[in-house]
Chain A
Amino acid sequence: MNPRPLSPYQQQLLSEYLDDRLSARQKAEVEALLRDNPEAATTLENLRQLRLLLRNLPARRLPHNFTLTRQMAQQQKRPPVLSWLRLSSILAMLLTVFLVTLDLLPRGATAPQTIATADMYTYAAAAPTPPIIYWNGNPGNPAANAGAMGMGGGAEAGPLSKSDSAPRPIDPQQPVVTQPVIVEQPVSPPDTATAENNSAARSADTQPILGPRPEEAGQVLDTQPNSTQLTGNESTPPATTPLRWAQIGLAALTVLLGLLTLWGYKRWQRGK
């Protein structure tokens, strides 16, 4: 029988065998190992001697009794107010972090979808009714079509009414309109730009509407209502929001509670 190195598993088995913590099967395994490998027997004997040595170490004498006096018992109790202060400061800090995080997120991520939809409807209602172009003339206004002979394209008309939406039979006596006739719609209230547009449109009844009118060439026409006002609003600095006030207030509260807790702990530690 040559001694062979023991595996960590076998070493642990020997340790547990020493404390009689093994099952019957494991015990049989260890006993077979002890018969086959002299290294296992030596190790077991070493461990047994080691345990004996440790059990017989001289006990240290106590320097004094460790019983508590009334004063020690009372001073060790942490005042409940300190626990409340600590909890409050932690809560305030968490709320502050939450609000700051909320503010840092992109607007689209936090703004409700319904608000954006409402804004869209508001702009749509404020916008002027778009002109409707009738190719081959306005069926509701043959007179306007008469002046557009030979120009091609379509004709602008007012908003659709019930009578407009119904299909109309083609009158064989009516001349074929080859030029669109622009029919201006009343816009209320008229502003300067719109009035100029209207007069230009009236004078250009005989002009095609596909592409800009000659007098409008090179100009940028903005028919979006209040667009200048919107642009102006974006350039002004944002006012302090309630969210910002809440952040500032909570941050101040966190600092205050933290300082109070620290001061309380210091006083308590000094009093111990």
Chain B
Amino acid sequence: MTPFDEAALVQAARKGSLDAFNDLVLAHQEMAFNVAYRILNDDAAAEDATQTAFLSAYRNLDSYRGGSFRAWVLRMVTNACYDELRRHKRRPTTPLEPINETEDEEIESPAWLADTAPSPEAAAEQRELAQAVQDCLNRLPDEFRVVIVLVDVQGLDYNEVAQVSKHPLGTVKSRLARARLRLRDCLQRFVELLPAQFRLKDEERA
């Protein structure tokens, strides 16, 4: 979608066109859901947060003052995720076993199981690595996780992230650097899954 089209759709949606707004939803929903999933690490919670975010965006279209519509929508998504995280912290739940509804879905492991070294034989190496990364993301503080997901997973630039998080650019840079280093240190626990370049640090220290 070109920026011109997006601006026209936003304009139409603000005048009350639900179809125009739904076109915007279709353009951004995949990114919104993936950001929510990486922050929350739960499909159902990510689904709720994404739907809540789009409803909130529709209700507050008047507050959109131009600029990156993607960043504005992602702000709604991260706000919904923060709400979900707060709700989860008030009523924490621990899954006893992973739920796999369909065979072709990715195998999800609860955090307590991932604390032990993952077995490379249990699943494909790529999936194990993805799960290890997600586990390490979950260990980051919420505000660090949001920044690294937006920059490194979704590819937003620093200014957009500053717009999403409503923090100064310096804060975004600092949080990103710290999040990357913490994530790197965490991933050393899964050294057998990492590419050879990643092992350099571990081997040099050994």
Which residues of chain A have a CB within 8 Å of any CB of chain B? 3, 8, 11-12, 14-16, 19, 21, 38, 42-43, 45-51, 53-55, 57-60, 62-68, 70, 72-73, 76-78
In the complex, B146 has a CB within 8 A of chain A: no
Partner of B198, one of A46, A62, A64, A76: A46
| A-B contacts, CB under 8 A, total | 113
Q: Give bound CA distance, A149 to B105, whole Å.
A: 128
Residues of chain A contacted by B177 (CB below 8 angstroms): 8, 11-12, 14-16
Cβ of A69 to closest chain B Cβ, rounded Å? 8
B173 and A15 within 8 A (CB): yes
B184 and A21 within 8 A (CB): no
Given contacts A45-B197, A58-B130, contact A73 B25 (CB under 8 A): no
Residues of chain B contacted by A72 (CB below 8 angstroms): 55
Partner of B158, one of A12, A19, A49, A65: A19
Partner of B152, one of A3, A43, A45, A50: A50
Quick one: which of B185-201 are within 8 Å of A by CB? 187, 194-195, 197-198, 200-201
Q: Give bound CA distance, A67 to B33, whole Å.
A: 13
- List 12 additional contacts besides A8-B177, A15-B180, A49-B194; criterion CB under 8 Å: A11-B181, A12-B174, A14-B177, A21-B173, A42-B200, A42-B204, A45-B200, A47-B180, A50-B152, A53-B195, A58-B130, A68-B55
A49 and B21 within 8 A (CB): no
Partner of A15, one of B18, B176, B200: B176
Cβ of A137 to closest chain B Cβ, rounded Å? 92
Q: Give bound CA distance, A178 to B181, whole Å.
A: 108
A68 and B18 within 8 A (CB): yes
Q: Give bound CA distance, A72 to B59, whole Å.
A: 11
Q: Give bound CA distance, A99 to B26, whole Å.
A: 54
Cβ of B178 to closest chain A Cβ, rounded Å? 8
In the complex, B6 has a CB within 8 A of chain A: no
B153 and A60 within 8 A (CB): no
Residues of chain A contacted by B37 (CB below 8 angstroms): 60
Q: Give bound CA distance, A45 to B199, whole Å.
A: 10
Given contacts A45-B197, A45-B200, contact A66 B176 (CB under 8 A): no
Sample of 6 A–B contacts (CB below 8 Å): A15-B173, A21-B173, A45-B197, A49-B197, A55-B153, A66-B54
Cβ of B146 to closest chain A Cβ, rounded Å? 13
Q: Give bound CA distance, A73 to B54, whole Å.
A: 10
B184 and A50 within 8 A (CB): yes
Cβ of B52 to closest chain A Cβ, rounded Å? 10
Cβ of B49 to closest chain A Cβ, rounded Å? 10
> Hey, what's the 0/1 contact readout for B64-78 against A, CB within 8 Å counting as 1?
000000000000000
In the complex, B85 has a CB within 8 A of chain A: no
Q: Give bound CA distance, A50 to B187, whole Å.
A: 9
Q: Give bound CA distance, A124 to B152, whole Å.
A: 86
Residues of chain A contacted by B130 (CB below 8 angstroms): 57-58
Which residue of B38, B59, B153 has the most chain A CB atoms within 10 A of its CB atom? B153
Q: Give bound CA distance, A47 to B201, whole Å.
A: 11
A49 and B180 within 8 A (CB): no
B18 and A60 within 8 A (CB): no
The chain B residue sitting closest to A77, CB to CB, is B59
Residues of chain A contacted by B187 (CB below 8 angstroms): 50
B184 and A46 within 8 A (CB): yes
B58 and A68 within 8 A (CB): yes
In the complex, B30 has a CB within 8 A of chain A: yes
Partner of B184, one of A16, A47, A62, A63: A47
Given contacts A57-B153, A76-B55, contact A68 B25 (CB under 8 A): yes
Q: Give bound CA distance, A63 to B36, whole Å.
A: 13
Residues of chain A contacted by B181 (CB below 8 angstroms): 11, 15, 43, 47
Residues of chain A contacted by B55 (CB below 8 angstroms): 68, 72, 76
Q: Give bound CA distance, A59 to B43, whole Å.
A: 12
Residues of chain B contacted by A16 (CB below 8 angstroms): 173, 177
List the 5 shortest-distance A-B pairs measured between CB atoms, nearest first.
Answer: A15-B177, A54-B152, A12-B177, A67-B22, A66-B29
B204 and A3 within 8 A (CB): yes
B34 and A59 within 8 A (CB): yes
B33 and A54 within 8 A (CB): no
Residues of chain B contacted by A73 (CB below 8 angstroms): 18, 58
Cβ of A15 to closest chain B Cβ, rounded Å? 4
